[in-house]
């Protein structure tokens, strides 16, 4: 008999005050793998409203340990501030570290980058694709939060294509090219040249 268990489930929600403002945190789980993801929502909206959203993949080194060799932590903070400034919005935080290869493999990739590989070459040298992330849970999360039209904060065309492919109405894309440092400039140039990210070239000079 075919299983009727949905692949993703909503678990619970709670208040989450932050230094940016008072959010709500919503927990979701992948039924088969047990992988957990969260959404942060701020403010209220109607079904017809355009809601700014950010899809952010977990980056422990950037988000929690303040690493400057990527722009993840900078983008996370900028997205949360943008949402608060707008008066409402959603951040989908997906647990797929290192573009899907996991934390320890990301450290191995960092070691290869220290030896001269770029971020794409390092992942491929370890036997992975350049990007293994999966955005299929995003539609369920947005549906649960009552979001029908979005302004997507991203530089990554794959996120835009993924949402549109799932039937999400992406009304606009807002760039979030924020957080260039001497340590991540080459990384950002690689994402632009090899992965199609739309980063402002003037910021990489």
CA atoms of 166 and 51, how far apart (whole Å): 17
Both tokens assigned to 53: 């959203």
Is there a catalytic annotation at residue 133? yes
The answer to the question of whether 54 is labelled as a binding residue is yes
Both tokens assigned to 81: 């501030």
Ordered strands of the 50-57 beta sheet = 8-17, 22-30, 36-42, 89-94, 50-57, 149-153, 169-174
The answer to the question of whether 98 is labelled as a binding residue is yes
The answer to the question of whether 154 is labelled as a binding residue is yes
Provide the β-strand partners of residue 38: 27, 93
Both tokens assigned to 27: 């927990």
The answer to the question of whether 72 is labelled as a binding residue is yes
Is there a catalytic annotation at residue 85? no
Catalytic residue among 19, 131, 143, 200: 131
CB contact at 8 A, 147 and 177: no
Both tokens assigned to 85: 């400034």
The answer to the question of whether 55 is labelled as a binding residue is yes
Catalytic residue among 63, 71, 118, 133: 133
The answer to the question of whether 36 is labelled as a binding residue is no
CA atoms of 89 and 43, how far apart (whole Å): 7
The answer to the question of whether 75 is labelled as a binding residue is yes
CA angle (98 as vertex; 193, 172 as ends), nearest 5: 55
Q: What Å distances lie between residue 114 and 11, 58, 124, 132, 152, CA to CA?
A: 40, 22, 15, 22, 33
Q: Binding site for Zn(2+): which residues?
A: 59, 70, 72
List, by residue number, the catalytic residues. Answer: 131, 133
Q: Binding site for GTP: which residues?
A: 54-58, 75, 97-99, 119, 154, 159
Q: Binding site: which residues?
A: 54-59, 70, 72, 75, 97-99, 119, 154, 159
């Amino acid at each position: 008999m075919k299983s009727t268990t949905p692949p993703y489930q909503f678990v619970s929600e709670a208040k989450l005050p932050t230094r940016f403002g008072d959010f709500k945190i919503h927990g979701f789980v992948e039924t088969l793998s047990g992988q957990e993801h969260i959404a942060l929502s701020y403010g209220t909206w109607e079904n017809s409203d355009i809601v700014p959203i950010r899809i952010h993949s977990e980056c422990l080194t950037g988000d929690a340990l303040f690493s400057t060799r990527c722009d993840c932590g900078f983008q996370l903070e900028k997205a949360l501030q943008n949402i608060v400034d707008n008066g409402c919005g959603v951040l989908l935080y997906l647990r797929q570290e290192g573009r899907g290869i996991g934390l320890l493999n990301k450290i191995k990739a960092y070691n290869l980058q220290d030896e001269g590989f770029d971020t794409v070459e390092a992942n491929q040298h370890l036997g992975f694709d350049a990007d293994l992330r999966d955005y299929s849970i995003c539609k369920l999360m947005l549906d649960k939060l009552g979001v029908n039209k979005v302004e997507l904060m991203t530089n990554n065309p794959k996120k835009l294509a993924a949402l549109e492919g799932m039937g999400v109405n992406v009304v606009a894309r807002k760039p979030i090219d924020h957080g260039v440092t001497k340590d991540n400039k080459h990384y950002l140039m690689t994402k632009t040249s090899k992965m199609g990210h739309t980063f402002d070239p003037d910021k990489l000079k």
